[in-house]
Amino acid sequence: MLTAEEIEFYLNVFKGLSLPDVMDLLKLAHTRHLPAQDVYIPSGASTQKLAYIRKGLIRVYHLKENGDEVTLMLRWENQFIASHDSIILNKPSRFIYQALEDTVMLELDYSKVQHMLDHNPRLSSLRNTFTMHMLAESLERVESFVLLSPEERYLQLVHDKPNIINRVPDKYLATLLGITPVSLSRIRKRIASSSKR
């Protein structure tokens, strides 16, 4: 199923793991292709799938009563994606996971690997490293809401993820920043006119 190149790639992703460790994991994983616009996880689903994105981009969003969509999270290459509602809290997903681009991921069932992760110290340690880094990332996002204005948040996003903003429509970026698309448009105008002077 997997080429030698793939295996080498994952040896690198899961630094510190031996080849057998990686093979044990990969044996339980499979590749999934998701065309752009397709829903990966619908809201209400209780799924333990955990995916590593090889290519593409997934948007996590909330659908409001009135039909409006609010984007909560974007995930792309070399990141993990999973319904945290289901994996962490064992509840149905409140959100919709949708591919914004043709997406390729390596998927596995967390409930099936959990036991293995719990009993292999190298895997446990690596899992904890990944979880902790996700926590740091999330805390940093909270910081940005508490410490920065919407305009500063947008500038930070442009600065930190210049490649991502070109792949995602502004209306999704806006709600990700906690503002409306109209407001983001005004912010962009403000920035353009102030940097001109």
Partner DNA sequence: AGCGTTAATTATCCTTTGTTAATTTTATTG
Partner DNA sequence: CAATAAAATTAACAAAGGATAATTAACGCT
Binding site for its own copies (CB under 8 A): 62, 70-72, 84, 87-89, 118-119, 121, 124-125, 127-128, 131-136, 138-139, 141-143, 145-147, 175-176, 178
| Number of residues forming the site for DNA (CB under 7 A) | 18
Binder of residue 180, out of its own copies, DNA, none (CB less than 5 to 8 A by kind): DNA
Cβ neighbours of residue 15 closer than 8 Å, sequence gap 6 or more? 126
What is the distance in angstroms between the CA of the first residue and the CA of the last residue of the chain?
A: 57
Residues 151 to 180 in contact with DNA, rule: CB under 7 A: 151, 169-171, 178-180
Closest C-alpha to 97, from 108, 110, 82, 115: 82
Among 150, 155, 157, 191, binds DNA (CB under 7 A): 150
CA 22/CA 74 separation, integer angstroms: 27
| Residue 185 interacts with DNA (CB under 7 A): yes or no | yes
Cβ-in-10-Å burial (0-12, 13-18, 19+) of 22 comes to: buried
Q: Which entry of its own copies, DNA, none binds 62, CB below 5 to 8 A by partner kind?
A: its own copies
- Structure tokens given for 119: 């009993």
Contact residues toward DNA (CB under 7 A) are 149-151, 169-171, 178-189
